[in-house]
Copies of this chain bind each other. A is one copy, B any other.
Amino acid sequence: MSTSFQEHYPWTGRPLIASAAMGGYAGPALATAVSRAGGIGFIGALRDVAILDQQLTSAKASLQNDDLKVASESTLPIGVGFLLFATPLDDASVVIGRHKPAIIWLACPAQEQDFGTWSKAMKKVSPSSRIWIQVASVSVALRVVSTCSPDVLVMQSSDAGGHGPFPGAGIVSLVPETRDALNRGGFSEIGVFAAGGMSDGRGVAAALACGADGVVMGTLFLASKEVELPAKEFREAILKTNDGGISTARSAVFDQLAGKSFWPSEYDGRAIAGASYKDFRSGVGIEEVQNRYAIAAKEAHKGFGEEVRAAIWAGSGIGLVTEVKTAGEIVTECRDLARLCLQKAIKCL
């Protein structure tokens, strides 16, 4: 990564911590709070970009007295993440052209070449915006950088909560191998951000130690005060669930609870392995899983209650998430702890 990398995000501090663009959860309150703390806050766009338009208007208003330093005066010091397969590009272009977020994060295309189409379209309507592209393997990373010119590759590990291509690897193998491949291919200026499984400053320290230029965290921000959640039971489940390797699972069933999945078949998602998942795994037919979910969804807890019939997207680091904090506290604490961990690790040598 070039030493000037952070110049593109001049409001940020080190280490670079981004909040994941969790569609439906990461709105303007979370994104602006993270950026205000010197992190990189993202809004996760949904299919209906009219909502994103409102969210960006709200973010802009919220940030207008903050005086966060941006690389280009026309950009907002937050990012927007899109799920490409689900989003009409033309609609997205209009909104991005209007609001010009500092970063546009592209994820989950229906076909790999959509990364190129989107990168070009976004640069056209907002030339100062930086492009981040999320992938989950070294091979796709190499193909993508050859056709697009992303500023950052978000390397999503198999530990990540929410959606991604299956199968995958943890960051300790994914990040170093990607870095080597990029350097060999002449792409050393592209940043590599680690995503998935990191839920406190120790994970951040680990990511930096194995060569990441920054870290994306999602699950931890589900416990932030600013995140948007569908029910209070959602957060209660996040806080009380431990041992994410066995209490969460990757499965396509989470996308079929309310009917046919609209996700392309190469994606699944990691969520809490609740009653719907357990039923499905033990042989209950999908129709019956859906029936049981539909009944639970009518309750006040909307299916997020005790037995967890709804999808609570979360990564394997969920067990480290035990307290509600402001996003600003989360960013600052992760940063401080990461620094301490690196110092301590060196001292022990």
Contact = CB atoms under 8 A, between A and B. Distances in A.
Interface of A: 14-15, 136-139, 157-159, 167-177, 180, 196-200, 202-203, 205-211, 242-246, 249, 315-320, 338-339, 341-343, 345-346, 348-349
4 closest pairs, A vs B, by CB? A169-B245, A170-B170, A169-B316, A205-B209
Contact of A346 (B211, B244, B246, B346): B346
Contacts of A170: 157-159, 170-172, 196-197, 316
Contact of A159 (B173, B175, B342): B173
Contacts of A348: 14-15, 208
A207 to B, nearest CB: 7
A interface secondary structure, majority: helix
Contacts of A15: 348-349
Contacts of A320: 173, 176-177, 180
Contacts of A318: 173
A67 to B, nearest CB: 24
Contacts of A200: 176
Contact of A205 (B158, B180, B210, B243): B210
Given A136-B245, A203-B210, A210-B205, A169 B159 contact: yes
Nearest to A349: B14
B173 A197 contact: yes
User: Which of A206, A317, A320 is packed against the most chain B CB atoms within 10 Å?
Assistant: A206
A167 to B, nearest CB: 6
Given A170-B171, A171-B170, A210-B205, A158 B346 contact: no
A254 to B, nearest CB: 15
Contacts of A245: 136-138, 158, 167-169, 173-174
A317 B200 CA distance: 23
A8 to B, nearest CB: 16
A159 B172 contact: yes
